[in-house]
Structure formats: C-alpha cells, structure tokens
Structure 1
Amino acid sequence: MQRDTINGIILDITNDYPVPYAIVKASATDSYTTSDKNGHFSIVVFPSPGCEFEVYHIGYKPVKMHFAHSDSIRKNVIIHLTPAAFNTETIIVSGQHKNSTHEDLHSFSEVLRGKELERMMGSTIASTLKNETGLSMRSMGPAPSRPVIRGLGGDRVVIKADGFSTIDLSATSADHAVSLDPFTVDRIEVTRGPSVLIHSSSATGGVVNAVRNEITDNFPSSISGLLGSYYETVNNGALGAGVLKIPYGNFLGRFEFGRRSSSDVSTRTGVLKNSGLGLSNLSGSLSYRFSNGYTGAAVRNFSLDYGVPGGFTGAHPNGVNIRMFKREYTGLLHVDLPSHHFPSVTLRLSRNYFSQTEKESNGLTGAEFGIFHYTGSLDLLMNHFSFFDNGSAGISFEYRDFNIGGFVFTPHTVSRNAALYFYQSKDFGKYFLEASLRYTYGDFFPRKSTQSFNNRYIVNRNFNLYSFSVSLLRELTNKVSLGVNLSRTTRLPSTEELYSAGPHLAAYSYETGNPALTAELGYGAELFGILKLSGFSFSLNLFYNPYDNFIIPRNSGRLNFATLLPVYETTGAKALLTGIESEIDLDISENIRISSSFSYTRGEFSDGSPLPAIPPLRNITSVNYSINNFTLGWQSEFGTAQKRTDNFEQPTAGYGVHNVFTQYSLISEYFIHNVSLNVENIFNKEYRNHLSRIKVILPESGVNLKFIYRLYF
C-alpha cells in the first residue's frame, strides 16, 4: 500500500508560537509521533482513498485533519491549535475559536489574535480595532485616538493591558493619547455584557484588554521571542520592536522593546501639519512558577511625543506639541487553592507615574499634568457556588493623585474608589444564564486652587453606585439561538468633569466642569440572536440604552474672550442610544470566505435633538482567499452621511473606501516568518471620519501602503 510522509509544524493560533511535544496520531493506524521543541513533526500516512490524523496537546482542543484524495495531500502543512476553553480570573473566554453557540453569544466578546491581528494592525489600539463590529475610532490626529463602542467613549470604555488599567488621560479629552502600543501584544480582547462589571461599573460600555502575558505560568521550552517591523507610506511611519523570553528552571524572564516614529500624514487634499509622533517602549518582567501557582513582577517605561494639528478658531497656527511619559510597576500572584468551590485566587497590584506636558507653538508650556496612580484587585474564582455553575467574586481599589499646572486652573485633586463585584453563570442545557453585580464607592478631595479660580467652586464629593447586568440565552435548535441582556449602568464623574476650569489649547476649547454633577445613570436592554449552518453564520443585535443622567461636555456656543476659545460645559442630561449590529460569514468554498458587518447607533437627548459625536451607519465587507500559507483579500468600508449633529458640530458626507491585503508565512526549522502587505484607501478617496476633531481641516489619510513583518523564533 502506498505511503506518504507529511511534514509540518504546529502553532498556537493566538500568537503563532510553536507548540512543542504535541501528539500527532494517524487515525487509520496505531502510528504516532510528537512535535519537537520547535513544533515540527513528520508522520507516515496512507493517503488512498483518504487519510486522517489527529493532533493532541494538554491545554489545547484536539484537531482532526482529513484529506479526501491522495492528490490533495500537502506534504508540508501548518496546524493551528486552539487553547481549550477556560474561564480566566476575569471570566473572559478569549484567545480561541468558539466551538459552541453558548460561547459564541454569552461571552459578548471579540478577539483579534495571530494573523488576523497582524493584518488589522495599526499604529494605535483604536486604529487596530476600528473595523470590528460596533467599534469606531475617535481621533484628533494619528496619535490621539481611542476606541468608541456603540457611540460610547471616554471612561465608558475601559482599556487594560494584561488585566491592569492603562493609566493616561485619553478618556478625558480628544487630544490625549492611549499609553499603549499594540505591536507586541499577543491578542486583543473586546468584551461586553455582564462580565464587564468585573472591571467597570459602566455595563453598557465595554472593556478592551491587550494581552501580552508579561507575568505568566506558560513557559516556552527554550529561548523564544519575536522580532518585527512596521512601515507605512502615508506618513513615513516606521517601527522596530522585539520580545525575548528566557526560561530558566521555574523562572521566566521577558524583555520587550519598541520604537516608532512618523512624520506628517498625507491626505488627498494636503498634508496634515504637526501630526507626527515619536514613541519609545521598554519593559522587563520576571515570572516564577511554584507547585500551586505562579507570581511575578514587571516594570515598563512608555514615552510618546506627538503633535496636535492647528487650524481651528483660537488654536495656534502650528498646533500644539504633547510629551507623555509613564512608568508602570505591576505585580501578580496566582494561587490554586485546595478547594473545589474556590479553585484559585489572583492578586494584582500596580503603581503608575504619568506626566504630560502640552507646549504651544512658541515653546511656552500651556498645560502640565502629573498623576500618581495606585490600583489593586483580588479575584476569587468560584465553581458550583450555590445555584450557579461557575463565576468569580472580587474587590478592587484605586487611588489617584492628579495635579495640573500651566494655564489650566483645575485644582490638584485626590480621588479614591473601592468596588465589590460578583459574577456568576448557570448552564441549564437549552438555557444559559449570566448575572453580575457591582458596588462602587468613590470620593474626590480637591485642594484649594490659586490664581483666578473661584475657591467657592471647590467642594468635596462622594458617591455610592451600584450596577447590575443579567443575560439569558435560549438555544432554540442546534442552529438557532436567541438571547436578552438587561442592565443598570452607573459611572463616577471624572475629576475633569467635576472641576475643570481653563483653556485646553490642544483640544481647541475652554473647559468648565460642574462640581454639582450626580453620578451617570442609565439602563440597557439588548436582544441578540445567531444562526449557524454549515459554512454560514448570521448574528443580529438590537440595543436600547436610555440614560437618566448622561454626563457630556457640550459646546455652549460662547467664546472665552481672553483666549477666543469655544467654551465647553460639562452637563448631565437625559439621553437615549439605540442601534443595531449584524455579522454575516459565508464560506464560498474551502478557500474563499465572505464576511460582512453592519453597525448603526442613533443617539439623542430627551428633546429629540442629536447627541454629538455619534458614528454613522457603517458596513465593512471583506473577501478572503486562503491556501496553504498564503492569504489574499479585499475589504470595502462604506459609511453613510451623518447629518444628525449637535449644535456647532459639522456634518459629514457618506463614503466608500477600499483596501487590498495579502499575507504569507514562511516556515523553517527554527523560524517562522509572517509578512503582511496592505494597500489602504487604494483609490485615494477623500473622506472624513465623523468622530475626528480635525475633519474641519482635512480629510482622512490618502492611499497608504503598509508593510508588517514578524519573525518568531
């Protein structure tokens, strides 16, 4: 009987790292082999009339490979293993392909990882995620950008790295950047639904978590790592970065570096002056494994210099330059407990120092910000607790010392908050229930300000908040499921929303807070469903989110005569956000897939007038052709005109933008080379992002050739 030898490599689908010592078994015989320390394997099979073999590894889902005919056998194959479904301390099912309807729906999560993450990679976390369903990007140039989920931004969207909050000012103003570079992350999780309350009291928002695995018990068998580069033509943007992992017994050292630079962005109608940036990122961590857990510590320095373009009324002609710096210390302890009901506990602690300086075009300092920030959390994993199957409970605290200088008169303020949270789930077979509850206490202690600030304006504030979220999923058949999610959402006002007073030149505004604000309060209702057939899936979400007190800064229509800047006042108002989202995936053949998503949000105040900064209806459709290690695709993004605008907000026209992408993986004995080449806005279309504050100056970037290279070893 004819025999064929199949050679291949086994990779982790979340990060393309080799999986050593996996078992590869030929189904028709008892023969088997194991992958070597670099993930390579070789096995003999009987190809006619077909062959089948299976791949196993502890901690991964088993994979079956089948070739129907001898001429279809590929002698060199890449096999991706998916981590087995598990609940982490934060109850996010992530880093895997979901293999059941429950996993598809009840986690409300999206995950970018592996080659998909490389293809979508942008210069910021927001530009990387902007094409995900329900997400859009708020921006004020390339560097100061932040994700928006269903029209909600700011503190309603929590950004984390390895479960630790990223400390910066990006949630408070459009000109502030996120202190996170996405290039070296293994995956990015976007989570909505009841599990959001583990991290935030804002149940209708979401959580973005960039996973680096800096402190981990998942050790490679030998020295491994990543080297990579990124280049794009629209701004001559370039990046070089690397990660090195060195195991030694029960210890693992992880070291990371990255440098990014870019010049001004080119658009179809001109150059966006003062939009360049320079970034430096350096970190080191040490993990230690012991018999029933692991622990570790990490330190990271992050610095970013970037420009905010000028050209608005009251702004300097050449814009404003911003310098950010953050030093972060994190520590983690995870212990497996000798208890069936309480299997593990995880402690997280962090200390951050953050500074930001905004300089005017003449070199004078317009604003200075300094933050000392301390956080901690203790999470207890739970199994079969009372009525429920599994979940978690935890406590967290946060201490923030926030000082402002320059020509901004917001007082030096100390804020504290503490939270108790509880999340549980129950599987009834055809039904699946999730429930979460969070209580938050917060207080603010502003110190007396100086200069022209009215001291009678300064008052201490404290808040007691509670939020809940309940989700119920009903599996009608093995192909159709429906669900509902109900929530009560609250949010502490920020220091800036309470106490701001003064010009913010980089944001082109004179900002005034409101110390009498009450906590943000709203409710959420969502209906969702999914249809899954062989080679076809369709999902639909409808949401209805009324707010009794929606905290928002609004252009008052007045100018501050000393600075000629428009006055933005922080207010609380009744508001309503409604919308619809859908996704369609269709496999035309074994190699061709069509995917399409629709997202629409409508926001309005109680009098029917539009909320500001609401994205228009968007459709993103892509066609992918994949064979062996090669992928070729086309992506089109369509947006309708947004004419529902707040007072003094500029409407935007509809648009259609088209992109082409290709990817290739080259596997050698010790290395994996991944290459991605994207051509964005291939027809050099002039269009404007409605959530961009600079849309009144210039459109979005023109045609852009983007090259991404990653070397895994």
Structure 2
Amino acid sequence: MTPRLLLAGGILLAFPVAAIAADDPPDPPEGEDIVVTGTFQRDPRDGASPVSVLAGEALDRSLRPQIGEALARLPGVSATSFGPNASRPILRGLAGERVRVLTDGIGPFDVSNTSADHAVAIDPLLAGRIEVLRGPASLRFGSSAIGGVVNVLDRRIPTTVPDTPVAVQARGSLGSAADERSAGANIGVRLSDRFVVAGGGSLTDTGDLRVGGPVLSASLRDQARASTDPAIRGLADLSGRLANTGARTRTANLGAAFIDDGGDLGVAITRYETEYGLPIRYDLTPGAEQEAVRIKADQWRADLRASVALSGVFERLSLRAGYADYTHFEGDPVTGTTFANKGLEARAELRQRRRGGWQGVSGAQTFFRDFRAVGAEAFVPPNDTTQNGVFTLQEVAIGPVRFEGGGRVEWTGIRSQVAGFDRDFTATSIAGGAFANVAKGVKLGLNLSSTARAPAAEELLADGAHIGTQSYEIGDRSFGIERARGVELIARLSGPAWRLDASAYRTRFAGYIYEFETGQVIQDLPVFCFAQGRATYRGFEVEGEARFVERPGLTVKADGLVDAVRATIDGFGPAPRIPPLRLLGGIEGRGDRLGLRAEVEHSTRQTRVTGFERSTGAFSLVNLSADWTPLAGRKLRLTLSASNLFDVVARRHASFLKDYAPLAGRDVRLGLSVGL
C-alpha cells in the first residue's frame, strides 16, 4: 500500500493513512467520509448514530490552534471560546463533562474539564481528520460521552509501512488576525517490510488577537462611561486587540510500529508545551486591579496500540492505552496556582466475526486520574478518580432495517484525603436505534437512550477562588448520578444531485448538574455555584447539499445548515450559555487543481438568559477560501482564506467571556504544504 503523508495547518506529520485502530482497514481516500470512530467503518449516512466528519480541504480551511474553534461550523457544534487559546467543543448545547474529547481514541489527560480557561492538550493542527459522534456508538468511549464524542485522528503511532525508504513532509502557514506563524516537519523511515519509525515536531507562535471593533460589549461600555473613575471610563474605548492573548506552542513526537497480517504493536512518545494568555476580564469597580492571567503547560505522554488476529467467534483482539504526566501553572509567582494531572487510560476490545447481518464489539475500559492543585487559589482539593467499565455494541441487519444497540456499566470512585471525601458511583447506560431504507433515496431512523454519568470531582469538591475565570466556584458533595433519557428522529433524503439530512431530538435530565452565578461576592469575586435538578434539552439540525454542475474536471455545489437548541432547567429557567439559532450557507467550485468557496454564517440574537447573564446580539460572518494544486500528481498545495471578511464584531453566547472577548476580526491565512 502506498503511504500518504498528511500535513495540516502548519504542523508537519508523516504517517501512512490508516483507521483509528490498527485492527481497522485503511482510511478512505481524501474527501470520502467513511467513519472510523464508531463501531464499524461506514458511510456516516448509513447508520443510526449521527456523525460529522471534517477532513480534506474542509479541514485545512477550518484548522485553528484550539479544537473548539476548528469544529464550530459543523452541525450542532459550538465552542466555549474562552479567548483564542482555550476553547472546547459544545455539542447540542452540552459541554465539559458531557462531551468526550479524544486523540486517536484516548483522552487528552489534561485539566480542560476542570475549567473553561484550561486549553485542551490536543493540537488540532496535527489532525488528519476529526470525527464527531453521537448516539449508541458513543457508549464505547465512556459515560462522559453523554453529549457525544470528538475524536481527533492524528496517528502518532504508525499504522502501515511506507513503500519508499524515507518519507518527508513539510508545511508552513501564516495568519493575520493574531500574527500567527506555524511550521514543522516529520520523517517516516521504513526499517523493514514490517517495521517503521516516524518522528516529527511543530511550532506555533501568535500575538494578541485582533478583533473587529470594541473589546467590551455595549452594556459594559455604557457601564464604564458612567463611572466617575477616569481609568474605568477609558476602558469603554478599548478596541482593535485583545490584550494578553499571545501564545506559543511546541510539540514533538516519536513513534514506531511492527505491523504484520496477524497483528501489530505500536508505541509513541509525545511532548507538548504551551504558554498562553487569557483575555482580561475587566473589573469596572473603581480602583480594581485588572488581572492579566497567563498559563504555562507541559505534558509528556506515551501511547500504545496493539492487536492480534483470532479465529472462531472473534476475529480480533485490540488494545489501546495511554499514560501522561501533565502540569500547568497559571497566575503570577505570588498568587499563582499549579495544576498537576497524571492519568492512565486503557481499553481492550473483542471484535466479533460477522455472521450474516450480525456484528459487534465488546470490551472493558479503565481510567485513573491523580489530580493536584497547589497554590494560593487551588479551588479544587487534591483528589483521585478511578473508573472501570464494561460495554458492548451490537448491530443486526434484517432486510432493509439495521438495528443498533449498546450498553455500558461504569464504576467510579472519587477520593480526596485532604477533603475527607470518599464516594463510589455506579452508572448504567443503554441506547438503541433502528435505521431503515424505506424507499429509494429515503432513509429514516429512531434513537432511544437512557444514559447516566457520575459527577466529576470538580462538580463535587470545588470551593475557592479561581484566578483563570476570575470567580469563586463552589461544588456540592451530595450530588448523585446524572441521568438522561433521550429520543431522536432522523431523516436522510437524497437524489441524483442533492441530499438533505435532518434530525430532531429531546433529552430529559434527572439530576442535571449545572453551574450558575449567584450574585454573591466572596474575596471580591463573583460566586458561581454548582447545582443539581431536572432539565430538558430539545433541538434540531438540518444539513443539505445540491450539485449544480458535475462533470469531469469541474464540480459546482451549494450547501447549507441550520441548527438550534433550547434548554430549560426546572424551577430555574433557561440553561446558561446555550448557543442561539444558527444558519450557514456556502457555494463551492472545484476543478482538477483549483478550488474556490464562499460562505455566510449567521447567528441570531440570544435572549433566553439567566438572571445574571446578558443577552448576545446577532452577527453574520462572510468567509472566502481558495486552494491550488499547481503540479498534477505532486504533493504541493497552496491555500488562501479570509475569515470574517467584513471585520464584524462577533460574540459567541456560549463563552464565559463573551462580554470581554469577541471572536477574531478579519483573518487572512496563507498555507503551503509539500510532500517528498
């Protein structure tokens, strides 16, 4: 098999194309959306579990330093947007502990789940493809995937042996909004027909992010102008740049693998270093000190992938494991806090041999986290979390109907000797779906689920000032299991030159855990408390595409999507930070060597807010992009794009910092990739 060398978004990474695990067949060619994160490889439109795929030219256009921003244009996806350097994905209004973010099927071993200001220790610029998975298949990855799974496929572990002795890839990119510069290189070396080594490195440097207008929202500007303090009045005129948002990131990886028809064994070691600033959350109290918080993080991690072919009922046994030692420091030498996190995760799976229309996979997963926070503002006490789970996912095809089902039992233990806390939880989840071809070009599906997750240590034990979010956070040790029952209807229609995918869903939570602002102040900081109650999420997603011209050497198509979610907490009102209705439409033309695209994204005004939450205005972004492959058959591609072409001020409602940190203004990006 001929290897493919992937280079994305300024990071150079050499590896052959392969599936998420070594027991799967190779990836599809670029541009073909064959899902590999779920139980079985297939077209995403042929299963009950909804899937979105970001790959090829679309991935190149969307890549940003943080995973949340890279995915924000997919159906049902938004981002926490805690400034340009810390952004986790939000799936159908759900975030944090309800969304599992993975790199090649294993968690990032960071502290991004602890707070929105903590970056995910996954560099999306290394990605070959990114998949977003919901539905029954997400139970494979843990109870914290109640909202869905985001899997970044980077393949630091080689999965095939190159045909050539040495494979080299190089790339660089420039971005104007943050004076972004990124570059890297990677080399893959074939040592024998069954043994390969690969190594690479990357760097990204950015300055303060440029925005399209005022830094503060209109209500905060009015508040600042009304102040008697000249320094506070001056804040109303802040514009142009988000102070303290520059960043510097370095990564390096070395991997090796033995690959044979009967099995394989691969390992990788990765070093990740980043230093970044958080947008200043300006305090409009006269005489207040404006905190310019910076975070410096580093991580060593080791990964393993292995599989062996079997005979009989099971066709393959697979093992995926990872261990990491992560540390980050935030603040200053006097009041700063150090967060340390050591983690281990392993998953073993037995894949059944297909028998007629029946196939499946069963396995066990274990996870351990040793978390420590030390310093003046360690708002969560040291604690250990242990999770052990067993799961099965099965599929049966009977005529035109495919039935999918899954179940998972997970045991969680959370212990903190310092806080005198020791609790155990058992969470049982089941999900099932049916998907049928009811007529030519008409597919209908139904998903039902009853899922559960144990509360996280942060939700239980938080009690203190957090410098990164400029808040005082309080958890509740009495929290029980969070349970959710959901139903989803799916329709997928298609014709010779068009397709339309639609879904509508409703999820009812019992023991729903949420964080809200109380209006109180402790240590000059606003108090945010975790609470538990009942909640309802409901929404829809519609995505379509129509091809107007389709002939050899030229394709012209239009595409669009609309999504919305509405969330209400019983006795409380609207859930905080829920994204509003969004519409996105684009037109794209692609020839043999040149591709052009124009799109408009419109987010409506969000007025369903909590008592201490401000509404967010509507905005529209216009984006243009072009990519050119000048030499036929050669791995050389130039990409030029302009995001937010008209330099508008856009604020994402899901962001804790929406009133202090708009999204990027006009951003012109140039990228070049070369393969040898």
Provide TM-score, normalisation by structure 2.
0.88
The match for 2:374 is 405
The one of 226, 229, 238 aligned to 2:181: 238
The match for 1:565 is 525
Alpha-carbon shift at residue 622 of structure 1 (Å): 0.8
* Secondary structure class of the residue paired with 2:39: coil
The one of 652, 664, 675 aligned to 2:638: 675
The one of 517, 522, 534 aligned to 1:574: 534
* Greater shift in the superposed pair: 602-611 or 421-430: 602-611
The match for 1:347 is 319
Alpha-carbon shift at residue 213 of structure 1 (Å): 2.0
The one of 551, 557, 570 aligned to 2:513: 551
Amino acid at match of 1:342: F
Structure 1 distance, partners of 2:27, 2:322, is: 34
Q: Deviations over 1:341-386 (max 9, x none)?
A: 21001112221101111114xx42422111111111111111347x
Map 1:288-687 onto structure 2 (within 5 A): 288-313=258-283, 316-339=289-312, 341-360=313-332, 363-384=333-354, 389-407=358-376, 408-449=378-419, 458-560=420-522, 563-590=523-550, 591-607=555-571, 609-667=573-631, 671-687=634-650
Structure 1 distance, partners of 2:559, 2:46, is: 16
Residues 634 and 390 (structure 1 numbering): CA distance in 2 closer, same or farther, change over 3 Å? same
Structure 2 distance, partners of 1:199, 1:334, is: 18
Residues 633 and 656 (structure 1 numbering): CA distance in 2 closer, same or farther, change over 3 Å? same
Alpha-carbon shift at residue 400 of structure 1 (Å): 1.1
The match for 1:273 is 243
Amino acid at match of 2:570: S
The question of 1:122 aligning with 2:68 is answered no
Residues 507 and 627 (structure 1 numbering): CA distance in 2 closer, same or farther, change over 3 Å? same
Alpha-carbon shift at residue 171 of structure 1 (Å): 1.9
The match for 2:167 is 224
CA contact (8 A) 1:61 1:84 kept: no
Q: Deviations over 1:303-329 (max 9, x none)?
A: 111111223448851420111111101
The match for 1:34 is none
Highest Rg: 1 or 2? Answer: 1
CA contact (8 A) 2:156 2:253 kept: no
CA contact (8 A) 1:260 1:278 kept: yes
Amino acid at match of 1:267: V
Amino acid at match of 1:329: A
Structure 2 distance, partners of 1:404, 1:13, is: 40
Structure 2 distance, partners of 1:164, 1:666, is: 38
Q: Deviations over 1:193-214 (max 9, x none)?
A: 1110000214641111111222
Structure 1 distance, partners of 2:255, 2:261, is: 20
* Secondary structure class of the residue paired with 1:218: coil
Structure 2 distance, partners of 1:316, 1:678, is: 39
Aligned residue-pair number? 626
CA contact (8 A) 1:204 1:524 kept: no
The match for 1:699 is 662
Structure 1 distance, partners of 2:126, 2:27, is: 25
The match for 2:225 is none
CA contact (8 A) 2:146 2:453 kept: no
Q: Which runs of at least 4 in structure 1 moved beyond 6 Å after TM superposition? A: 10-16, 58-62, 81-88
* Secondary structure class of the residue paired with 1:319: coil
CA contact (8 A) 1:191 1:207 kept: yes
Q: Deviations over 1:124-160 (max 9, x none)?
A: 2111111001101111110110100000000211111
Q: CA RMSD in A?
A: 2.4
Alpha-carbon shift at residue 414 of structure 1 (Å): 1.4
Residues 612 and 442 (structure 1 numbering): CA distance in 2 closer, same or farther, change over 3 Å? same
Q: Deviations over 1:607-629 (max 9, x none)?
A: 37100010000111110011111
* Secondary structure class of the residue paired with 1:165: coil
Structure 1 distance, partners of 2:259, 2:666, is: 48
Alpha-carbon shift at residue 393 of structure 1 (Å): 0.3
Residues 365 and 280 (structure 1 numbering): CA distance in 2 closer, same or farther, change over 3 Å? farther
The one of 228, 245, 248 aligned to 2:191: 248
Alpha-carbon shift at residue 93 of structure 1 (Å): 2.8
CA contact (8 A) 1:367 1:406 kept: yes
CA contact (8 A) 2:158 2:197 kept: no
Residues 594 and 524 (structure 1 numbering): CA distance in 2 closer, same or farther, change over 3 Å? same
Q: Deviations over 1:655-689 (max 9, x none)?
A: 111011101113366x4111111111111112211
Structure 2 distance, partners of 1:133, 1:448, is: 43
Amino acid at match of 1:693: F
Structure 2 distance, partners of 1:503, 1:129, is: 31
Residues 500 and 695 (structure 1 numbering): CA distance in 2 closer, same or farther, change over 3 Å? same
Amino acid at match of 1:304: T
CA contact (8 A) 1:517 1:572 kept: yes
* Greater shift in the superposed pair: 529-538 or 223-232: 223-232
Alpha-carbon shift at residue 226 of structure 1 (Å): 2.3
Identity %: 25
The match for 1:74 is none
Structure 2 distance, partners of 1:655, 1:535, is: 31
The match for 1:257 is 201
Residues 278 and 316 (structure 1 numbering): CA distance in 2 closer, same or farther, change over 3 Å? farther
* Secondary structure class of the residue paired with 2:110: coil
Alpha-carbon shift at residue 164 of structure 1 (Å): 1.4
The question of 1:210 aligning with 2:152 is answered yes
Structure 1 distance, partners of 2:359, 2:35, is: 11
| Bigger relative contact order (CA 8 A; separation at least 6) | 2
Unaligned runs of 5+ in 1: 1-9, 17-37, 40-57, 63-79, 450-457
